[in-house]
Structure 1
Amino acid sequence: MKKIGLVILAAMAFIMGGVINAHQVSADTDPLHERLYRVYNPNSGEHLLTPAGWEILTLEKAGWKSEGVAFYIPLTEPPYSGYPVVQRLYNPNAGGHHYTTSDFEAASLVSIGWNNDGTAFRFPVAKANTGVPVYRLYNPNAKVGSHHFTMSSFERDSLIKAGWKNEGIAFNAYTK
């Protein structure tokens, strides 16, 4: 009898846990913002930003480590009217990625051999004077992962103390 009671109690806990988790997920879903994830390559030191869940799974199979949600971006369809748009570029020689809202910077990198990752990896960010700053830092000693993007002023300041160069605010995004 005691075993049956424990089984029933365990089943109820499992069912209630599922209900609570489902509720937490739905309450955590914001109809105005989309998650942008950050993954880390422990072999190269690169951090990659992506809105694509499939890309995270692919990279994790290759040894990358998921760092979860980096920040949130506006949930809107192309052409993202009124929003700054981040372009993701890839350096096939060094194997690193870079992010910019500057069409000039993107075109300059493409002209020296970088690849633009295309529309699948473009994403809108918060309009001017909204959201929270995402800081851009540069590591002059790195060949791959030489730029880093973070909302955390603590992370920014720690990297500056370690010799990274502060390049200011890259763009704004949302914390939720």
Structure 2
Amino acid sequence: MKAKNTLFIAVASLLLILEAFPIKAEALSPANLSSNDNSLPRRDAVDIASYQSWMTQADFNSLKASGVKSIVVKISEGNYYINPYAKSQIDMAKSAGLNIAVYHYARFDYSNNPTQEGNYFASATKALGLPVSTVMIEDAEQDGYNGNWTIASQQFAQALRNNGFKKPRYYTSQSWLASGIMDASILGASNIWVAQYLYGKPSASRLQNAAYGAWQYSSQMYFQGTANLQRHPLDVSIDYQNFFGRLQPVIPAQERAVYRLYNPDNHDHLYTSNKTEAQQLADSGWDYEGIAWKTAKSNGQPVYRLYSPSAAYHFYTASKVEKDALEGRGWRAEGFGFYVDGSSPVYRSYEPGTGQHLFTKDAYEHGKLLRRAWRDEGLAWRAD
């Protein structure tokens, strides 16, 4: 990415400074940084494009070992360009165990509107097989657009949502934010990845732009793990608010497991003994919260699974009477969720504000919910 924050210095003030304190020319340029320098901000994310076609699997592995968590890959530009190296870059980053986010270089104009570019970006990303939970970033820095960048960015983001992508976000310079070209009060500061390259060396003890989702603080980071990385500087960012997303978990194959997942969009908890279903939900953006309990070894007590189409969340009960009553009120029966036996109590808690339930074997978690004004609904069932 090319965005940089512009430093404006009054000529008179600069002359006074130069007379009093002669400075080297390189002090007015972003410093070359080394990944071995522990005084720098965290190296959470690196963004790449076709310029980084030189990168090999060893380079991605080395970035992972250096503490990088996310690789942000350029997918497209305007409505005419797709990065020919994107697939191989994504595949290598995945093989290294890195989280993947993607970006599109926006070139809005009268013949190329934000909705068209959003659709183009979405189509190119889908063709690469990335899930709809992928963080999709608009790179807003191109001069020459006569429209309102904030409104255009909203239109671009809506096009992504219309294509099923749940996490549209924005990249821009600090100067564009300061001038109001990109309005953080409308787009949301936590949705913005801001670029500001400081003159001199940034410091972990003096972090900047912490109100935003992430800060790209240098284009001159030399990672030291391979000869390739030592020769080529990379853009590097600190992630303040899980801006780039999290590495999608691989659901473990465990005998008799009931997996617990959480939908951050509507706070629904889902419990399933189907590993394939659990993995599909995790891939689509649900949070995997581990194994809740174990299913019965054989001939256990059935637990019914129901779904409320109006409220869009799930419920579980071992009572056929309760199951039948909920069906009569419009809930959809989804069969037996799983079978249980065992000696450990599974507690049932109810949150009056949302109408949702949580089931847990963890007495501490149950007690914590009660202290937060959840209602204790007693024993749901027993399980191992």
Length-normalised TM-score, structure 2: 0.33
Q: What are the superposed Cα offsets for residues 55-78 of structure 1, whole Å, 9 maximum, x if unpaired?
A: 1121112210111111112133xx
Give the match's secondary structure for 1:141.
coil
Instruction: Provide the secondary structure at the position in 2 that maps to 1:70.
Output: strand
1:156 is aligned to 2:156:
no
* Other structure's SS at 2:327 match: helix
The residue number in structure 1 matching 2:291 is 69
CA distance in structure 1 between the partners assigned to 2:283 and 2:254 by the alignment: 26
2:280 to 58, 68, 71: 58
Structure 1: gaps of 5 or more residues: 1-27
Map 1:122-133 onto structure 2 (within 5 A).
Answer: 123-126=338-341, 130-133=342-345
How many equivalent pairs are there? 132
Extract structure 1 runs of 4+ deviating beyond 4 A: none
Match of 1:89 in 2: 306
| Separation in structure 1 between the aligned mates of residue 314 and residue 254 of structure 2, nearest angstrom | 28
Secondary structure of 1:74's counterpart equals coil
SS across alignment from 2:295: strand
Partner of 2:322: 105
Distance 1:114 1:49 in 2: 17
Residue 139 of structure 1 pairs with residue 356 of structure 2: no
Q: What is the identity, as a one-letter code, of the residue corresponding to 2:370?
A: I
Pairing 1:4-23 to 2, within 5 Å after superposition: none
Q: Which amino acid aligns with 1:90?
A: Y
SS of structure 2 residue aligned to 1:58: helix
For 1:99 and 1:166, how far apart are their aligned partners in 2?
15
What secondary structure does 1:156 align onto? helix
Per the TM alignment, residue 47 of structure 1 is displaced from its structure 2 partner at its CA by 1.2
* Aligned amino acid, residue 297 of structure 2: L
Counterpart CA distance in 2 for 1:75 and 1:90 is: 26
Shift of 1:29: 6.2
Gaps in structure 2 of 5+ consecutive residues: 1-252
Q: Greater CA radius of gyration, 1 or 2?
A: 2
1:23-42 paired onto structure 2 within 5 Å: 34-42=256-264
Q: Within 2, Cα distance between the matches of 1:97 and 1:73?
A: 19
Residues 43 and 85 of structure 1, relative CA distance in 2, 3 Å threshold: same
2-side partners of 1:84 and 1:125: how far apart?
Answer: 5
- What's the secondary structure of 1:117's corresponding residue? strand
Over the aligned positions, Cα root-mean-square deviation in angstroms equals: 1.6
| Structure having greater relative contact order (Cα 8 Å, sep ≥ 6) | 1
Contact 2:304 2:333 survives alignment (8 Å):
yes
Task: State percent identity of aligned pairs.
Answer: 36
Aligned mates of 2:332, 2:257 — CA distance in 1: 24
Q: What is the aligned counterpart of 2:375 among 150, 162, 165?
A: 165
Kindly tell me: are residues 29 and 117 of structure 1, through their superposed partners in 2, closer, same or farther at Cα, counting changes over 3 Å?
Answer: closer
CA–CA separation in structure 1 for the residues paired with 2:328 and 2:289: 32
Q: Which amino acid aligns with 1:167?
A: E
Shift of 1:102: 0.5
1:151 partner amino acid: K
